[in-house]
Chain A
Amino acid sequence: MTTIKTEQPNPAAAHPPGGRSGRGAPDQVGKEPLGQSRRVKKSAGRRPLRKAIQRDWQLYALVIVPLIFLAIFRYAPMLGNVIAFRRFRPGGNIFGDEWVGLRYVSMFINDPVFWHVFSNTVILGGLTLVVCFPLPILLALLLNEVRKKAFKRIVQSISYLPHFLSIVIIVGMVMQLLSLQGTANQIITALGGDAIPFLQRAEWFRVIYVGSEVWQTVGWGTILYLAALTTVDASLYEAAEIDGANRWRQIWHVTLPGIRPTMMTLLILNIGTFLNVGFEKVLLLYNPLTYSTADVISTYLYRVGLVSNNLSYAAAIGLFQALIGLVMVLSANFISRRVVGASLW
């Protein structure tokens, strides 16, 4: 989830370059009660750096701690990826000891297990995207047609609930429902079948993963669509009705185009995080019997790196994954801006 900038008019947020100079003068009068620099106000451009610091030093002081935080806990690990190209000794320099070039990169490119988990990741991510992206739209459309406010609110409250649960709890529920004594097998045996140990069967893993993902995310995913739906101009429905459009055609020709920017934005975000398929959930759900379908890039690099202590190798894989993710967000954003005019930035 992130900020969304669409073509919808958004006066509060927009500040085009032209608007800035127009607003500049009154702004500066207001913000300089001490009358310290009447001269600067006239030079319509940016104020000199020294003046800016003199006036805003308290603001700059406030961001020092957050910036140090970002530097240490966000940017240092990014640079730490350099160990993908350097030999790393546990306990040694966190940026590694000596350059080894592309040794670790060629190692994973020649690693058949890597390509296996890569294709697992693409399949699992693709399935999740295909199933989990449209369902919230459908649910939002259904909710939007509900006229009884109390009923709508109750449905919303219940369907948002799974979003607030720890992934551990969700996996716990999945395990209980699918255990040999669980509800799924109670139904199967009641119908005369034999109980299936779902979590030990590789062929069931993808179904289980995507199904629980839907359960967890479908309700929460409707929020932005519901908000977008309320902004669709009501007169468009009237016009459509006069033109003889029934409800389905109204949904198709008015409602869906109305929420298209929201759809595109969320699609871009989903595509960008496509390879990061719920690492924590897979880690909790899989076991050696289901590795053949369940093992994904992030779980593989977790085992290689942190369990087998091959940190440089795992860092190379992680860097590769992060770069693919970045490229995918950027290109999805670019295509969407070209094709439908909605983009993240």
Chain B
Amino acid sequence: MVIQTDLAKGVKMRRPRRPSRLRGSRDSRGYKIFTWVNSSLLIVLCLIMLYPFVTVLAQSFSSPSAIKAGMVSFWPVDFNIDTYIAVANNGMFWRNYGNTVLYTVVGTIIAMVLTTSFAYVLAKEHLRGRKILIGLAVFTMFFNGGIVPNYVLISSLGMKNTMWALVIPGAISVFNLLVMKSFFENLPKDLEEAAQIDGLSWIGIFARIVLPLSKAVIATMVLFYSVAFWNDWFAAFLYLDRSELFPVTLFLRNLLAGASSAATEGAAAAGSTATALSANIQSVTMILTVIPILCVYPFVQRHFVSGIMLGSVKG
């Protein structure tokens, strides 16, 4: 909130002044050169950022023999969609893709219920023990159990080879919790007080006043969590043994690991068809895995940014 108001102020205060400051000022020619250099640098940066996507996309539409010959960079060579058809006919790929969707949805729902209710309580400044509760949550940011004790815990709870090992441990991200908390703290207090006078209980206020006012932050948090669940592979790698439970990220990881170990053992000497073919399949799988994120990205990017700023202004 603080940053947002400052932001508006900053823009208003600086905008009109800049042009007049530069017009006719000593460094205006130097400034022109600077602007030119600056823009070129940023354009080069964008190209570097985008190039890996372009080349993966190009490979996914190229023939294995063209990839093997090292001919593919910006543009598909021997354009075809055979690999897409092959991957699309792979039952395990779709099964794992479906698992990813399922884990993302279930994980996000659990995480949202826990995070929202916790954040609402932490935002109540009059609450006895509030500082302790915040401290309990924040401490877990700086010190965590580590892989081994977590593994032992999940195994002993009997959660191995179930969906729960993936969706439950990620349920409260302290960062997201603090973002929501500072959002709730900045809601106008009068509304809640009025509702209280009308006899609503705390839970009533939460459900009927606070949640409807918080659609923006809820949307942001849903996005944060769902991207995290969608992208996760490591929990699945640790806790799942049966390939029909894998999420698609683990499917992709196993493709990559297969190719890598083949290259390491020298079984696939320079440019054999096997590596080229696997590069092709990898590209297709990568494209299909990132497509949902690329599709929603333009619409949600702004929310992510505002969420980050909200959270980083002292919660």
Residues of A within 8 A of B (CB): 1-6, 10-13, 15, 27, 30-31, 33-34, 46-47, 49, 52-53, 56, 58-63, 65-67, 69-70, 72-81, 83, 88, 90, 94, 139, 142-143, 145-147, 151, 154-155, 157-162, 164-169, 171-173, 175-177, 179-183, 185-186, 189, 195, 197, 199-200, 215, 219, 223-224, 227, 230-232, 234, 237-238, 241, 246-247, 272, 280, 283-284, 287-289, 298, 301-302, 305-306, 311, 314-315, 318-319, 321-322, 325-326, 329
Interface pair A77/B153, CB less than 8 Å apart: yes
Residues of B within 8 A of A (CB): 1-3, 6-7, 10-11, 13-14, 17-18, 21, 25-27, 30-31, 34-35, 38-39, 41-42, 45-46, 48-53, 55-56, 59, 67-70, 72-73, 114-115, 117-118, 120-121, 124-128, 133, 136-138, 140-153, 155-156, 168-169, 171-172, 174-175, 178, 182, 185-186, 189, 193, 196-197, 199, 201-203, 206, 227, 230-234, 238, 249-250, 252-253, 256-257, 259-261, 263-264, 270-271, 275-276, 279, 282-283, 286, 289-290, 293, 297-298, 301, 304-305, 308-309, 311-315
* CB pairs A–B below 8 angstroms (15 shown): A11-B2, A63-B118, A69-B171, A69-B172, A73-B153, A73-B171, A77-B150, A164-B231, A166-B232, A186-B70, A195-B270, A199-B263, A237-B21, A241-B21, A287-B264
Interface pair A139/B148, CB less than 8 Å apart: no
Interface class of chain B by DSSP: helix
Q: In the bound complex, how far is the Cα of B153 from the Cα of A332, in angstroms?
A: 32
Interface pair B45/A56, CB less than 8 Å apart: no
Interface pair A234/B17, CB less than 8 Å apart: yes
Interface class of chain A by DSSP: helix
Q: In the bound complex, how far is the Cα of B26 from the Cα of A247, in angstroms?
A: 11
Q: In the bound complex, how far is the Cα of B127 from the Cα of A56, in angstroms?
A: 7
Q: In the bound complex, how far is the Cα of B13 from the Cα of A238, in angstroms?
A: 12
- B52: which A residues are within 8 A, CB to CB? 173, 176-177, 215
Interface pair A322/B147, CB less than 8 Å apart: no
- A83: which B residues are within 8 A, CB to CB? 148-149, 152
Q: In the bound complex, how far is the Cα of B152 from the Cα of A44, in angstroms?
A: 49
Interface pair A166/B230, CB less than 8 Å apart: yes
Interface pair A234/B41, CB less than 8 Å apart: no
Residue of A nearest to B135 (CB): A345
Which 6 residue pairs of A and B lie closest in terms of their CB atoms, listed nearest first?
A: A77-B145, A80-B149, A166-B231, A318-B146, A66-B118, A77-B149
Known: A165-B293, A223-B308. A199 touches B230 (CB 8 A): no
Interface pair B293/A94, CB less than 8 Å apart: no
Interface pair B193/A12, CB less than 8 Å apart: no
Interface pair B42/A142, CB less than 8 Å apart: yes
Interface pair A288/B150, CB less than 8 Å apart: no
B175 to chain A, nearest CB (A): 5
Known: A46-B128, A305-B148. A173 touches B56 (CB 8 A): yes
- B121: which A residues are within 8 A, CB to CB? 59-60, 62-63
Interface pair B142/A3, CB less than 8 Å apart: no
The CB with the most chain A CB atoms within 10 A, among B50, B127, B168, B314, is that of B314
- B156: which A residues are within 8 A, CB to CB? 94
Interface pair A306/B238, CB less than 8 Å apart: yes
Return the contact of A181 from the options B69, B151, B153, B185 (Cβ within 8 A): B69
Q: In the bound complex, how far is the Cα of B45 from the Cα of A143, in angstroms?
A: 12
Known: A143-B42, A147-B35. A315 touches B148 (CB 8 A): yes
Besides A2-B174, A72-B153, A172-B286, 11 new A-B residue pairs in contact (Cβ under 8 A), listed by A number: A30-B189, A74-B144, A77-B149, A88-B152, A147-B35, A164-B293, A169-B252, A172-B252, A180-B70, A246-B30, A247-B30
- B301: which A residues are within 8 A, CB to CB? 157, 160
B131 to chain A, nearest CB (A): 11
- A185: which B residues are within 8 A, CB to CB? 70
Q: In the bound complex, how far is the Cα of B114 from the Cα of A225, in angstroms?
A: 31
Q: In the bound complex, how far is the Cα of B46 from the Cα of A160, in angstroms?
A: 10
- B147: which A residues are within 8 A, CB to CB? 298, 301-302, 305-306, 314, 318
Return the contact of B49 from the options A27, A162, A168, A329 (Cβ within 8 A): A162
Interface pair B145/A175, CB less than 8 Å apart: no
Interface pair B128/A52, CB less than 8 Å apart: yes
Interface pair A223/B309, CB less than 8 Å apart: yes
B304 to chain A, nearest CB (A): 8
Return the contact of B153 from the options A94, A241, A288, A329 (Cβ within 8 A): A94
Residue of A nearest to B169 (CB): A73
- B34: which A residues are within 8 A, CB to CB? 145, 247
Interface pair A287/B10, CB less than 8 Å apart: no
A85 to chain B, nearest CB (A): 13
B49 to chain A, nearest CB (A): 5
Known: A73-B169, A165-B290, A241-B21. A3 touches B193 (CB 8 A): no
- B118: which A residues are within 8 A, CB to CB? 62-63, 66
Known: A143-B42, A215-B49. A181 touches B70 (CB 8 A): yes
- A301: which B residues are within 8 A, CB to CB? 147-148
B290 to chain A, nearest CB (A): 6
Q: In the bound complex, how far is the Cα of B231 from the Cα of A171, in angstroms?
A: 13
The CB with the most chain B CB atoms within 10 A, among A11, A147, A154, is that of A147
B147 to chain A, nearest CB (A): 6
